[in-house]
Amino acid sequence: MAEKVRQDLVEEARKFLLNPKVLTEKDENKRAFLMKKGLTEEEINVAFSMVPKNMMMSHSASSPSFGPPVPYIPQQPSSRWSQVRDYANLVLILSGASYGIHYIYKCYIGPLLTGHREKSVEESMIELQHSVATVLKDVQNTLSTLEQTLSAQTIKIQIINVENTSATD
């Protein structure tokens, strides 16, 4: 008994069979689903015959697809200005990072490694005052020694002058 094939249902079944999610299912599951939807065995066979066999085989063996492939959009060639901007950005980023690394090393890592820390302004001022006081004492000692030497020289000159004047008389 030849049943009448309902073309609209067969077309919907064909679309269903071409769905990427359905392609990975077993044929028995597809047939059972179409039977539940009210298609006859003959309509199901017609729908299966409308779907290319290689398409059903390739998708059933492969992993499920994640939607239609994204078309490749070629990038526009970059202009000279964008290249200059990109290089300038690179230089700025690298110099900023280099300065940051230098600062961290100078302030934190270097003193930890060497055990040397920078003095505060107050400590530097106190050290400067002590060195100035030491220099002043040295200058005073030198001046007093110079005064003593000058006075001794003056006395010797006066003695020589007295001897010269007494010898000439």
Query: What is the per-residue pLDDT across 93-107, written as a single tens digit (0 to 9) for each?
Result: 999 999 999 999 998
Q: Tell whether 49 is covered by a domain.
A: yes
Instruction: Look at the alpha carbons of 78, 83, 84, 85 in this order and tell me if their dihedral is positive or negative.
Output: positive
Q: Which of 18, 44, 24 is nearest to 32 (CA)?
A: 44
Per-state percent for the chain, helix, strand, coil, to nearest 5: 75, 0, 25
- CATH at residue 13: 1.10.10
Distance from C-alpha of 64 to C-alpha of 96, rounded to nearest angstrom? 47
Distance from C-alpha of 4 to C-alpha of 51, rounded to nearest angstrom? 20
Q: Tell whether 136 is covered by a domain.
A: yes
CA 17, 22, 27: angle at the middle one, nearest 5?
70
Please count the helices (runs of H) and the strands (runs of E) in the chain.
Answer: 8, 0
For residue 50, give its domain range: 7-61
pLDDT-based confidence at residue 120 (cuts at 50, 70, 90): confident
Average pLDDT over residues 131-149: 96
Query: What is the per-residue pLDDT across 45-93, written as a single tens digit (0 to 9) for each?
Result: 888 888 887 665 544 444 455 667 777 777 777 889 999 999 999 999 9
pLDDT-based confidence at residue 2 (cuts at 50, 70, 90): very low
Token pair 């964008």: residue: 82
Q: What is the count of structural domains for the chain? A: 2
pLDDT value at position 65? Answer: 53
The DSSP 8-state label assigned to residue 51 in this structure reads S
Token pair 């990038």: residue: 75
pLDDT value at position 126? Answer: 93
Q: Which of 83, 108, 5 is nearest to 49 (CA)?
A: 5
Q: Tell whether 67 is covered by a domain.
A: no
The DSSP 8-state label assigned to residue 1 in this structure reads -
Average pLDDT of the chain is: 86
pLDDT value at position 138? Answer: 96
Q: Tell whether 155 is covered by a domain.
A: yes
